[in-house]
Structure 1
């Protein structure tokens, strides 16, 4: 646990550096494009429309999900996913992509995944504002359940940090890991109940889906925005999520501390 504390201390003591690098990263992504940062929102908008046409109009025929318009239900699931997927992929590649630039200076390499997460947070914030506007248009009132959204946001950031810390270490040592991760993330958008309703699945299959911590986060956003349940209603599943997340953080911290002085040797 001392290693976890060491990693977390590096994040807190370099917080201003993280924010500064995240701002530069966000500006640098699209500076050579004519539309600039607009692509950060144009791409997910195109994806949302495609998923809505295929799954909402094509497959469901426009039918609502538990009384909620499919488009609103779909957006609640896609918004965290549009943050989770690129953060995991980019965060897992962050050390490999930049370690050659910082290897000759005293630089806390563990903050590189965090920089990626913070950089992608701007898109999350804007899309949450857009979601609020959509809910106003549809007349959807989340009720008091929206008060638990900060909890799920904290859960989301902690999980992403744990996964990207571990992923960035493995990806630097074994480059095949990054390719496998990209394939897994492409499949996961269809395997998880982001685009479809899992309520009609047999209980055993729903239990299998819950083994993926991302399921907890996606459903948590729907519980918050659509007023389905409180996070403590299924306290066993909440406990499972935190045990898995903290275990990933522990393993990631141990491996990162062990190998980070040798990262440059794997380039």
Structure 2
């Protein structure tokens, strides 16, 4: 009886990893190189935009006023802050209504952009596990698309913001164009922050319950409702360096840049040119750092 040979059968003593590499096989879901990951994201750019638009359309689909809530929510928040901090607590400093109301509404709209981007980022992986487990795509697409959703929402709101600024005597001028680079820098910062918290939120879903308290504290420390210099140095009698530190935090920086663009007068004169360098620095550090931090855990999302 002749012995049958199987030339295609792998030798038993060859490690599986070596055998897979010999035949061009790779680990399913393995993390690509950083440049390769960027190329994958660019290849999915249409999906990223379409996903952000779909999320925006669905956000208020159950409400009778629909997309109007995109504007009503920050406006109602601004009204509450005006009553409490503008009238009751007199936290406006030396600003009259003509300057304080645009100051307040601009701060609320700009901070809401960052706040919603962070909250969306925290839930971007844990809230879309079905999609993550069913399809193969770069997971950073989700927090990036949700940050774009928040930008679109802000742009809708900007129409009302411009109307309020004009109604209180601040008319369009060349400086208004500075809103564009200010919001682009904030978008990069917000996206990096969303990516950072997307990784944390994927491992710790309870983080989404904690973040509202963190964000509310950040809001109070950023001068959304009151000028920081006045509140820290005059009302709280704190040191000048504390006001400078708070003014350099990214939320305060991007609010100041948009306020500088839209509101003329004494407040514009108080915004230092170095604020633009802070805005650029925060965007680069957090944008790039958040992206790399998220990419390092790419193969772990949706598992477990």
TM-score bracket, normalised by the shorter chain, equals: 0.7 to 0.9
Between the aligned partners of 2:196 and 2:243, the Cα distance in structure 1 is 27
Report if the CA contact (8 A) 1:169-1:252 is conserved. no
Q: 2:302 aligns with which of 241, 264, 267?
A: 264
Aligned to 1:103: 133
Between the aligned partners of 2:282 and 2:100, the Cα distance in structure 1 is 31
Q: 1:252 aligns with which of 280, 290, 295?
A: 290
Structure with the higher helix share, 1 or 2: 1
Aligned to 2:16: none
Q: What are the Cα deviations for residues 203-249 of structure 1, in whole angstroms up to 9, with x where unaligned?
A: 21122213421211011111111241698821xx5444444433333
Between the aligned partners of 1:247 and 1:135, the Cα distance in structure 2 is 32
Matches for 1:1-267 after TM superposition, within 5 Å = 5-60=35-90, 65=95, 68-141=98-171, 143-200=173-230, 201=233, 202-227=239-264, 228=268, 233-234=273-274, 237-266=275-304
Between the aligned partners of 2:205 and 2:73, the Cα distance in structure 1 is 27
Give the structure-2-normalised TM-score.
0.76
Between the aligned partners of 1:62 and 1:167, the Cα distance in structure 2 is 33
Between the aligned partners of 1:3 and 1:212, the Cα distance in structure 2 is 32
For structure 1, which segment, 5-14 or 37-46, has the greater mean C-alpha deviation from structure 2 after superposition? 5-14
Give the structure-1-normalised TM-score.
0.86
Cα pair distance change 1:220/1:10, threshold 3 Å: farther
Between the aligned partners of 1:120 and 1:66, the Cα distance in structure 2 is 31
Deviation at 1:177, TM superposition (A): 3.4
Report if the CA contact (8 A) 2:75-2:105 is conserved. no
Cα pair distance change 1:66/1:173, threshold 3 Å: same
Listed as ranges, the gaps of 5+ residues in structure 2 are: 1-31, 234-238
Report if the CA contact (8 A) 1:88-1:164 is conserved. yes
Listed as ranges, the gaps of 5+ residues in structure 1 are: none
Whichever of the two has the greater Rg, that structure is 2
Q: Find the residue that maps to 1:32 and give its secondary structure.
A: coil
Cα pair distance change 1:190/1:142, threshold 3 Å: farther
Cα pair distance change 1:97/1:67, threshold 3 Å: closer
Between the aligned partners of 1:132 and 1:172, the Cα distance in structure 2 is 38
Between the aligned partners of 2:139 and 2:190, the Cα distance in structure 1 is 16
Aligned residues: 263
